[in-house]
């Protein structure tokens, strides 16, 4: 069975995979869902967080494993899994972008979202005074991230969100065909996502072709459609 490392998106923590991890474990897979620096329960000061520090967290998990792992990156987590694949090519068996930001070489996550200046996510962002973090206006969060999530999960998720270090979306990707480009890629697109529109998801896939899976859901299928998502990840592991 496969080794999975589940990488959360902006403002979230490893907690967001709480419904998926048991389902994958029940299918015989090994699962880790770490907190990235400055998020979840991690106490790293946001000003000290960089894309490199995110990569180091995941690379340590990979290096401790006997077998290569499948990296699943949700939303902004797509940036981290891409950088990890470049840094630890032989330790990564596949990348799965779950309605995720997937910038090509030389581009940033911010570059991707700026292509849709009127998108809700752009209007919802609130920068900190020193520019080191951003949050999302609370009034927009339910529609943005959890439009089809059960109310109890939505409430618990909103209460656990933390400010997102800005450096992750501001750092250009450094990717090569020899390393990153040689890792098998899947993209799980979510057609009713209000954070990363389906049009943007498909433009990113056109720029960096992937095997594609479509889910008819919003931005957080780990809460809204956990069984279906676990089935898709299990199928990828068996491919």
- pLDDT score recorded for residue 117: 81
Q: What per-residue confidence (pLDDT) applies to 213?
A: 98
Rounded to an integer, what distance in angstroms lies between the CA atom of residue 86 and that of residue 84?
5
Sole residue written with tokens 């940033």: 108
The kind and range of the H/E element at 185 are strand 185-190
pLDDT number for residue 218: 98
Q: Residue 115 is part of which domain span?
A: 3-238
What single-letter DSSP state applies at residue 73? E
CA pair distance 71, 65, nearest whole angstrom: 13
CATH number at residue 28: 3.40.50.1820
Instruction: List Cβ neighbours of 141 (8 Å cut-off, separation of 6 or more).
Output: 124, 158, 161
pLDDT of 186-195, one tens digit each? 999 999 999 9
| Domain count for the chain | 1
Question: Could you tell me which residues come within 8 angstroms of residue 64 by beta carbon, excluding any fewer than 6 positions away?
Answer: none
Task: Render each residue's pLDDT in the chain as its tens digit; 239 residues.
Answer: 899 999 999 999 999 999 999 999 999 999 999 999 999 999 999 989 999 999 999 999 999 999 999 999 999 999 999 999 999 999 999 999 999 999 999 999 999 998 888 889 989 999 999 999 999 999 999 999 999 999 999 999 999 999 999 999 999 999 999 999 999 999 999 999 999 999 999 999 999 999 999 999 999 999 999 999 999 999 999 99
pLDDT of residue 118: 85
How many residues would you count in the chain? 239
Residue 3: the pLDDT is: 97
């Amino acid at each position: 069975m496969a080794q999975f490392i589940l990488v959360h998106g902006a403002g979230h923590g490893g907690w967001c995979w709480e419904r998926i991890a048991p389902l994958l474990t029940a299918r015989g897979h090994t699962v880790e869902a770490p907190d990235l620096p400055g998020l979840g329960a991690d106490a790293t000061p946001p000003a000290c967080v960089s894309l490199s520090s995110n990569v180091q967290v995941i690379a340590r998990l990979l290096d401790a494993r006997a077998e290569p792992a499948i990296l699943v990156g949700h939303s902004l987590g797509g940036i981290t899994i891409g950088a990890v694949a470049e840094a630890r090519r032989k330790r990564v068996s596949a990348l799965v972008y779950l309605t995720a930001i997937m910038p090509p070489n030389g581009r940033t996550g911010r570059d991707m979202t700026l292509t849709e200046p009127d998108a809700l996510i752009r209007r919802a962002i609130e920068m900190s005074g020193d520019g080191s973090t951003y949050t999302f206006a609370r009034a927009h969060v339910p529609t943005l991230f959890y439009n089809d999530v059960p109310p109890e999960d939505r409430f618990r998720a909103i209460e656990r969100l933390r400010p997102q270090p800005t450096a992750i979306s501001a750092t250009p990707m450094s990717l090569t065909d020899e390393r990153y480009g040689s890792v098998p890629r899947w993209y799980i697109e979510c057609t009713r996502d209000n954070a990363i529109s389906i049009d943007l998801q498909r433009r990113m896939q056109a720029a960096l072709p992937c095997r594609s899976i479509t889910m008819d859901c919003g931005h957080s299928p780990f809460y809204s459609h956990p069984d279906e998502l676990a089935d898709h990840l299990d199928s990828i592991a068996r491919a």
